[in-house]
Amino acid sequence: MPASRPDAPWAAFLETLDSSLAHETTLACLGGFAIHALYGLPRPTGDVDAVAVAPDDQLALLLRIAGRGSPLAKHCGIYFDFVAVVTPPEDYASRLTPIYPGAFTRLRLMALDPYDIALSKLERNQRHDREDVRYLASRVPFDLELLMGRYEKELRPNLGRPEREDLTIRLWMEMIREDLAAE
């Protein structure tokens, strides 16, 4: 079960960010922070990645207050990062899940669902991305037909080099199947 409040060092960072906002602001989070907050990922991460901010006019303020190099980021050792280079599945917004609901006055943290988080890591496919996907696949656990279906319907049509990602998703599916068989 996810925590109702953030743990250290996230608590101080998010509470300060919340108190700095004048308006309700929603972040659609992905990456290590979202996986940690909702699924207990033990891997440390130093940022709160978001693929969307609403209202969008708050993005500049968030980057100024909490972005890399800001006083808050230097103080807490964590920063806010807007991830514009990620391709999330088309309907990700309809599946957002609250992170720490009711914990903040103005800050609303939402996470992409675990399949959408995994698929958002497909293009980059770095070692920690694959490890995060493996963690999610075992923790959730993944329905591999759902993962592949969402890839084919909602992500693949929007990729710049789908043939490359076709290979990556096939390798990921093999990796996940092997992990599940070993459990």
Share of the chain above pLDDT 90, in %: 91
pLDDT bucket at 166, cuts 50 / 70 / 90:
very high
1 — pLDDT class (breaks 50, 70, 90): low
End-to-end CA gap in the chain: 21
pLDDT of 23: 94
Question: In this model, does residue 162 exceed pLDDT 70?
Answer: yes
pLDDT of 8 strictly over 90: no
What's residue 71's pLDDT?
97
Q: What is the mean pLDDT of residues 112-125?
A: 97
**Buried residues in 118-128 as b, exposed as e (16+ CB within 10 A):** bbbbbbebeee
* Alpha carbons within 13 A on the beta-carbon side of 45: 20
pLDDT of residue 183: 79
Beta-carbon contacts of 32 under 8 Å, excluding residues fewer than 6 positions away, are: 41, 43, 44, 45, 47, 49, 128, 132
Instruction: Count the neighbouring beta carbons within 10 Å of the beta carbon of residue 85.
Output: 8
Task: Give the mean pLDDT of the chain.
Answer: 95
| pLDDT tops 70 at residue 163 | yes
* Average pLDDT of span 94-117: 98
pLDDT given for residue 4 in this prediction? 87
pTM for the predicted model, two decimal places: 0.94
- The mean pLDDT of 21-29, rounded to a whole number, is 97
The structural domains of the chain, with segments of one domain joined by +, span 10-113, 118-182
Peptide bond into 44 cis (omega under 30): no
Residues 42-82 pLDDT 10s: 988 999 999 999 999 999 999 999 999 999 999 999 999 99
Q: Kindly state the tokens that stand for 147.
A: 């993962």
Q: Which two tokens stand for residue 88?
A: 């999330």
